[in-house]
Chains A and B, each alone.
Chain A
Amino acid sequence: MRNARPVLAVLAVLLGIWYAACIPMNIQEVLTTAARAGAVVIPETAPERLATSRFVLVAENLDHIGASWSVDRARLPSPEQVLGELWKGIFDQPVTSKRSLVYHGMITLQATLAGLALGLVVGVGLAMAIVYFRVMDLSVMPWAVISQTIPIVALAPMIVVLSNSLGLGERLGIENRLVSKAIIAAYLSFFPVLVGMIKGLRSPDAMQLDLMRTWNATGLQEFSRLRLPASLPFLFASLKVAVAASLVGAIVGELPTGAIEGLGARMLVASQFGQPLLMWASLFAAAIAAGGLILVVGLLQRFVDNRLGVRS
Chain B
Amino acid sequence: MTLNDPVIAAQGLDLTFETNDGPVHALRDVSLDIGKGEFVSFIGPSGCGKTTLLRCIAGLEAPTGGSLTVNGMTPEAARRARAYGYVFQAAGLYPWRTIGGNVRLPLEIMGFSKTEQADRVRKTLELVELSGFEKKFPWQLSGGMQQRASIARALSFDADILLMDEPFGALDEIVRDRLNEELLALWRRTGKTIGFVTHSIPEAVYLSTKIVVMSPRPGRITDIIDSPLPRERPLEIRDSREFIEIAHRVREGLRAGHVDE
Contacts and interface: CB of A to CB of B under 8 A. Distances in A.
A129 B84 CA distance: 32
Given A216-B79, A225-B105, A308-B96, A211 B139 contact: no
Interface in B75-105: 79-82, 84-86, 88, 90, 92, 94-98, 105
- DSSP majority for the A interface? helix
Interface string B137-156: 10100000000000000000
B259 interface: no
A54 to B, nearest CB: 59
B82 A309 contact: no
B96 A211 contact: no
Nearest to B95: A309
A302 to B, nearest CB: 14
B235 interface: no
A309 B79 contact: no
Interface residues of B, number: 25
A213 B139 CA distance: 25
Interface string A226-247: 1001101000000000000000
Contacts of B137: 309, 311
A214 B92 contact: no
Nearest to B84: A214
A46 interface: no
B60 A217 contact: no
B58 interface: yes
Interface stretch (B34-42, B106-114, B170-178): B106-114
B82 A213 contact: no
B20 to A, nearest CB: 19
B110 A215 contact: yes
A226 to B, nearest CB: 7
A208 B94 CA distance: 9
Contact of B60 (A213, A221, A229, A232): A213
Contact of A311 (B60, B79, B106, B139): B139
Contact of B94 (A213, A216, A217, A229): A229
Nearest to B90: A207
Q: Which of A210, A211, A225, A232 has the most CB of B within 10 A?
A: A211
B98 A309 contact: yes
Contacts of A207: 88, 90, 92
B88 A225 contact: no
A215 B92 CA distance: 14
B79 A211 contact: no
Contact of B109 (A208, A215, A308, A310): A215
A212 B95 CA distance: 15
A232 B85 CA distance: 28
Q: Which of B81, B82, B105 has the most CB of A within 10 A?
A: B105
Interface residues of A, number: 20
B86 A221 contact: no
Contacts of B97: 309
B99 to A, nearest CB: 10
Interface string B150-184: 00000001000000000000000000000000000
B96 to A, nearest CB: 4
Q: Which of B85, B90, B94, B97 has the most CB of A within 10 A?
A: B94
A216 B81 CA distance: 8
Contacts of A226: 94
A216 B96 contact: no
A211 B86 contact: yes
Contacts of B85: 214
A229 B96 CA distance: 7
Contacts of A221: 109
Q: Which of A214, A216, A225, A229 has the most CB of B within 10 A?
A: A214
A281 B212 CA distance: 78
A214 B109 contact: no
A216 B92 contact: no
B108 A225 contact: yes
A309 B96 contact: yes
Nearest to A226: B94
A130 B80 CA distance: 27
Q: Which of B80, B96, B110 has the most CB of A within 10 A?
A: B96
Closest 7 A-B residue pairs measured CB to CB?
A308-B96, A309-B137, A214-B86, A215-B106, A217-B109, A215-B109, A229-B96
Given A210-B60, A214-B84, 20 more contacts: A207-B92, A208-B92, A210-B86, A210-B88, A214-B60, A215-B82, A215-B110, A216-B80, A216-B109, A216-B110, A225-B108, A225-B109, A229-B94, A230-B94, A309-B97, A309-B137, A309-B139, A310-B95, A310-B96, A311-B139
22 contacts: A207-B88, A208-B92, A210-B86, A211-B86, A211-B88, A211-B92, A213-B60, A214-B60, A214-B79, A214-B86, A215-B110, A216-B80, A216-B82, A225-B108, A226-B94, A230-B94, A230-B96, A232-B96, A308-B95, A309-B95, A309-B96, A310-B96
